[in-house]
Structure 1
Amino acid sequence: MSNEEVVELVLRRFGVRIAEDQIARAYGNEFRMSWKKAVEVGRFIKFMTIKQAQSWLQDTVNLKRPIPIRRFTKKQAHHATPWGGWPVAKWPVKVAYNYLRVLQNLENNARFNGLDVERVVIVHAAAHKGIQIRNYMPRAFGRSTPWFEQTVNIELIGAELPKEVLPKRLKLQVFK
């Protein structure tokens, strides 16, 4: 995503025009984790501030707050939940930990660019499929079964926004 596209995205979403030097990027490649869960976590933390996303993902790693699953819900357990609106939830610990690593990188890049880290909002979060690590499990009678492992690339883009358009609180209140 180019800087011009990020500026247009911020203008459409928040109604604020930003300069191209108010953008920070972070990229993590070839993480060994689930691509589907990475897509769900990226969709969830989009349009949060860095601190809000770090707080939620840290609670997910500690198994305190779940991530809503909205797209990949086939054959998933539905929970009798204290929260409303999304009965399918998971605690993707490995994915949340890897997103925390990339979020730390985004925070450091924003600080290096001279941005106020408290006002940086994640405006783009994407998970792309990486290389496939090929492996085979030997079986009886000279056969073998493919045992491949998918890797995931994480891309985060943050923009420094004015205080009046920052998200005030997290989108979901899990516990009442």
Structure 2
Amino acid sequence: MASRDSNKPRSGYTQLLSGTDGYHSLTTARAVNLDIHHKHCYQICRFLRGKTAGSAIDYLEQVIKADGWIEDPENPDKYKRRSEHHIRRQARAIPYVRRSRKGKGGNTMAGHRKGKMGPGRFPVKASLAFIQLIRSAMENARHRYEGEIDDIDEMVITHLAAHRGQVRRAFRPRARGRATPNNHYQVNLEIFLEAREGDGDWDEDGDEDLF
């Protein structure tokens, strides 16, 4: 059961494990106590909700190119780092829309990116964690609904959220034998994948018109 206090770590799913109208074959996955920034996770979750699993992974693979990460040809599920500048120039950003200056309003302090996006950044470390999470959910769907779903990549992300995990406590040594607490809040991620019933009015690639 999740704690109502946002300052406490949350364990278990925070969303009811019930299907969404118009969808079927619910599949879930979680990742706990990840060493990534929760503010980056919020922006990624907001951007990926409603997309298909395949299109979400394709987009995140473009994001991690900002730090030189590309798919390993020998191991398709793994990535390797390259230093070529043309790889970094191919990177796409995650839109940052939430105001991050607490109590001061204003913008997100992120630069505007090319296209119709506006403010955006390249959260590479968090994107790698989300790729692993989505692939874990897809593998769960293959195992649970073997032979029932034709294309796992077309399953829709109906729920994606990031919550506070455990606190990794540490201390920074100071002069005269003193020490300053240096605590780090870890992140828990959760995802729901569901298959659509019929075509409807859904965009086939599950993507927004940002470019």
CA deviation digits over 1:76-102, x for unaligned, max 9? 1332x3222x42201000000000010
By how many angstroms is 1:62 displaced? 0.9
CA deviation digits over 1:9-57, x for unaligned, max 9? x32xxxx2x44xx100010111101011111101110000000000011
Query: How many residue pairs align between the two structures?
Result: 161
Q: Who is 2:144 aligned against?
A: 113
What secondary structure is seen at the aligned counterpart in 1 of 2:199? helix
Q: Who is 2:203 aligned against?
A: 167
Q: Who is 1:123 aligned against?
A: 158
Runs of 5+ consecutive residues of structure 2 not aligned to the other structure: 1-14, 67-90, 102-107
By how many angstroms is 1:2 displaced? 2.2
What is the CA–CA distance in structure 2 between the aligned matches of 1:121 and 1:44, rounded to whole Å? 13
TM-score normalized by structure 2? 0.71
By how many angstroms is 1:163 displaced? 4.7
Q: Who is 2:110 aligned against?
A: 77
Q: Who is 2:132 aligned against?
A: 101
Note if contact 1:67-1:90 (Cα within 8 Å) is conserved in structure 2: yes
Note if contact 1:24-1:157 (Cα within 8 Å) is conserved in structure 2: yes
What secondary structure is seen at the aligned counterpart in 1 of 2:118? coil
By how many angstroms is 1:152 displaced? 0.4
1:34 and 2:37 aligned: yes
What is the CA–CA distance in structure 2 between the aligned matches of 1:48 and 1:97, rounded to whole Å? 17
What is the CA–CA distance in structure 1 between the aligned matches of 2:203 and 2:29, rounded to whole Å? 21
What is the CA–CA distance in structure 2 between the aligned matches of 1:168 and 1:113, rounded to whole Å? 24
Match among 16, 30, 35 for residue 2 of structure 1: 16
1:67 and 2:99 aligned: no
What is the CA–CA distance in structure 1 between the aligned matches of 2:152 and 2:198, rounded to whole Å? 12
* Aligned-pair identity (%): 24
Higher relative helix content: 1
Note if contact 1:61-1:97 (Cα within 8 Å) is conserved in structure 2: yes
